[in-house]
Amino acid sequence: MGKLNTLRHGFNNCLYESDAKQKAKMKKEIKFSLIYRDMWQSSGKYVPRVDQLKIIAPVLIEMGCFSRIETNGGAFEQVNLLYGENPNKAVREWTKPFNDAGIQTHMLERALNGIRMYPVPADVRKLMYKVKKAQGVDIARSFCGLNDYRNLELSIKYAKEAGMISQAALSITHSEVHTVEYYMGVVDKAIEFGADEICLKDMAGIGRPATLGRLVRSIKEKYPETIVQYHGHSGPGFSVASMLEVARAGADYLDVAMEPLSWGMVHPDVITIREMLKDDGFIVPEINMKAYMEARALTQSFIDDFLGYFIDPKNRFVSSLLIGSGLPGGMMGSLMADLKGVHNVINSTLKSQGLHELSEDELLVKLFDEVQYIWPKLGYPPLVTPFSQYVKNVALLNILQLAKNEERYSMIDNNTWDMILGKSGILPGPLAPEIIKLAKDLGKEFYTGIPQQAYPDVLEKYRREMIENNWEFGADEEELFEFAMHETQYRDYKSGVAKIRFEEEIENAKTLST
């Protein structure tokens, strides 16, 4: 018996030694990026004002655990314009503390769509990188929502010409066509175009952990010097496992969030991810918890000030229902607002027919089911801005039309038709026969050219108008860029209408909450 115990003890020691050796082999540094912009976009309508951002920046730096901060990009500048404030001033003042501290800043941009919801002419796209680099943004994370590498080519070229780090992002989703081989085809072209880094943008958090691990391993085996960063929303619940898998496969950076906006439709919290990776043998930075708690309190104070009026409480929850629909966390705020907008209309229609009225939860599930039904028929576009909005809009209008006993697809907007017809890029999968027939019946033509070529340059037109209006072009022509990128919002900002409208919106929100 004594010998048996000795053998068991020796065997267990071997196991522990083997485990220790395995962890030692895996010992690699993992760095974190705080997704402060996306934390807000995935929660509600607005982001903090520049005065608030300037207050929290030194505290985020003091936390000591972030090598990168996502400071701006899609929606950020538009929100500033909606406040009636200058977005260029906001970007400069927000990025400066991180620049001074040696923390890299990165922005999110949508390739053909730049930092808006619809295509941008090439001259405006090119100016964007020059402006953002001058304003203190180090890295351009560029994604095409369709993973069409033709749309990424100019993003990579212009970013590098402006002196920025070009990070080409893969729009991650899960379907029969979105395989590791499919994504590696996009990676190969991005690297050929000169991309410095690759990001896995798992915008809905539905990438399966094992598949993501295989993808990162494939990238690292073929391009070992290329930095890989993973961005995964926590909505459906996969992202913690995904972060462990991609780290083990060789990823260099992980995007994380922090309380009070972590989890739910946002991203996993840096504390959890750090502890998980540390236990698995990775080298991870320490967190200054005093600064963490201060940043947490400041963020909560921004919510209490006014931002909380525009955050749906349901966005705090994780939901497995998102796995089937594949809708991203970043659009859940707008989705819930859209549902409320049509809820009464649908129920009035159902009531007039003597049918069961839908609760908000029933309508949400119905929407998820409709998205799941139409997604493959629309060619499997990854559900990321703006294509997630397009597919969601079609699904929502289908539900409305079906409630009226009318046919599906009888209300499709022009931007969605551009996606269907190929003007936004090549769809990952084939269109369903009924969609092709509908297009032909309506006399619509499919586009087979390079998407960018369908949108001619426009900067000179905006330049002339600014001269006529005696508007300043700003440093590095940043005001010209903003006008050309966000024409409607910029006009409202310049006229003062935006600020008046925003103040009225705040007052209305306060009234409704009492």
Q: Considering only 139-148, 330-339, 393-402, which range has the smallest mean pLDDT?
A: 330-339
Q: Half-sphere exposure of residue 265, counting CA atoms within 13 Å on the CB side? A: 25
Task: Show the beta-strand stretches assigned E in 338-430.
Answer: none
281: left (phi over 0), alpha (psi -120 to 50) or beta: left
Cβ neighbours of residue 149 closer than 8 Å, sequence gap 6 or more: 185, 186, 189, 190, 193
Q: Is 222 a residue whose pLDDT tops 50?
A: yes
Phi, psi for 129 (deg, rounded to 5)? -70, -40
Cα–Cα dist 170/202, whole Å: 8
Q: What is the pTM of this model?
A: 0.91
Does 17 have pLDDT greater than 90?
no
Q: What is the pLDDT of residue 6?
A: 53
How far apart CA 502 and CA 82 sit, in angstroms, is 7
Place of tokens 């769509």: 113
Q: Tell which residue, 370, 306, 360, has the closest CA to residue 337.
A: 360
Using CA atoms, how far apart are residues 361 and 223, in angstroms rounded to an integer?
Answer: 46
Q: What is the dihedral of CA 488, 491, 493, 495, to 10 degrees?
A: -140
Share of the chain above pLDDT 90, in %: 82
Question: pLDDT tens, 162-210?
Answer: 999 999 999 999 999 999 999 999 999 999 999 999 999 999 999 999 9
Taking residues 13-25, what's their average pLDDT? 51
Domain boundaries, the chain: 27-310, 321-450
Fold topology of 27-310: TIM Barrel (3.20.20)
Cβ-based neighbour number of residue 510 at 10 Å: 11
Angle between helices 459-469 and 478-485 (to 10 degrees): 110
Alpha-carbon distance of 203 to 143, in angstroms, equals 11
In the chain, the percentage of residues whose pLDDT exceeds 70 is 94
Task: Quote the tokens at residue 157.
Answer: 């070229």
> What pLDDT, on a 0 to 100 scale, did the predictor assign at position 18?
53
pLDDT score at 503: 96
24: confidence class by pLDDT, cuts 50, 70, 90: very low
pLDDT attached to residue 20: 47
Task: Identify the band that residue 243 occupies on the pLDDT scale cut at 50, 70 and 90.
Answer: very high
Tell me how far apart the alpha carbons of residues 393 and 416 are, in angstroms, rounded to a whole number.
9
Mean pLDDT of the chain: 93
- DSSP string computed for 304-333: HHTGGGGB-GGGGS--THHHHH---GGGHH
Per DSSP, what are the bridge partners of residue 73? 108
pLDDT in tens, 345-363: 899 999 999 999 999 889 9
Which has more confidence, 91 or 333?
A: 91
Q: Which residue has the tokens 């993003």?
A: 155
Mean pLDDT of 437-453: 96
β-strands 104-109, 66-73 pairing? parallel
Please check whether residue 387 is in contact with residue 375, taking contact to mean a CB–CB distance below 8 angstroms: no
Q: Residue 24 gets which letter from DSSP? A: H
